[in-house]
Amino acid sequence: MNHPPVSSPVLHSTALYTAAAQALAAMLPTEAPVTATLCSGPRPVMSSAGHGAGASFVGELSADVLVQVNAGLLGGTPGDTSALVSGADVLRPALEASTGVLGTGVLSAGPAIQDDALLGDGETVCFDLASAGELIGFFALRIRENAAPEAARATSDAERADVGARLGRINSVEMALTVEIGRTRMSVRDVLNLETGAVVELDRSAGAPADVLLNGRLIAHGEVVVMDQDYGIRITKILDVAEGLG
């Protein structure tokens, strides 16, 4: 059953939503070009016959995004978890392209939204995705307003003390600290052709500092060291919030 049309006004100009939808459509790995058209009828729903991916974006503008494309166009079958590259992996670059038009920010590494809640929200804008004259899926985008800078600076000393007290309660909570020496982008074909002994070139030169990430967020740079027979990381620079988001 489709969601009923929602007539609530969107938060930004239609041009911004359209630009995001077009950027996503251009990155979808289909044989024929994909067009994105603003939905004029009932809202779409998730289908068992499609590959879907959703994520949240936090930055200058924050947003929730969701895309679904007929599984046959991306290879594989719906719900297949045995494949080396999942449907969500294939759709990830398209989501990154769509949120790239919103400015600087970070796209969540995994699903962070409720599909039904997003599609049923009056602030969500939906687009039909079509290729070779046939409807192949949809794209949904909900932009969230960030707090005004003036409001953010108005936090009182008492509120800051309260935040510190609340943070003190989670001092013993463990978080994942990850060291990343570099990244690269590869086509699905190249990934599937990897063999034992293959060398993958990263986007970082030898001797460059490694990134230190806390729960996936960049917090510092450092150099890799060897301690006894184990690897370690010597912190060379702690990043502030703005640098970590860049």
Which string of DSSP letters, residue by residue, matches 31-76? SS-EEEEE--SSBP---TTEEEEEEEEEESSEEEEEEEEEHHHHSS
pLDDT for the residue numbered 84: 56
Q: How many helices (H) and strands (E) does the chain have?
A: 8, 10
- pLDDT on residue 144: 82
Residue 212 has φ and ψ, to the nearest 5°, of: -110, 120
At residue 10, the pLDDT reads 53
Report whether 65 contacts 55 (CB < 8 A).
Answer: yes
pTM over 0.85: no
Burial class (CB in 10 A: 0-12, 13-18, 19+), 87: buried
Q: Exposure string (b/e) for 113-150, b if CB count within 10 Å is 16 or more?
A: beeeebbebebbbbbbbbbeeeebbbbbbbbeeeeeee
Which stretches of the chain score pLDDT less than 50?
1-9, 81-82, 151-152, 155
φ/ψ of 240, rounded to 5, equals -85, 180
Residues 202-217 pLDDT 10s: 988 888 899 998 877 8
Contact residues for 1 (Cβ-Cβ < 8 A; gap 6+): 45
Domains of the chain with bracketed CATH: 14-144 (3.40.1550), 172-245 (2.30.330.10)
What per-residue confidence (pLDDT) applies to 82?
46
- Residue 129 has a pLDDT of 95
Q: What pLDDT, on a 0 to 100 scale, did the predictor assign at position 152?
A: 45
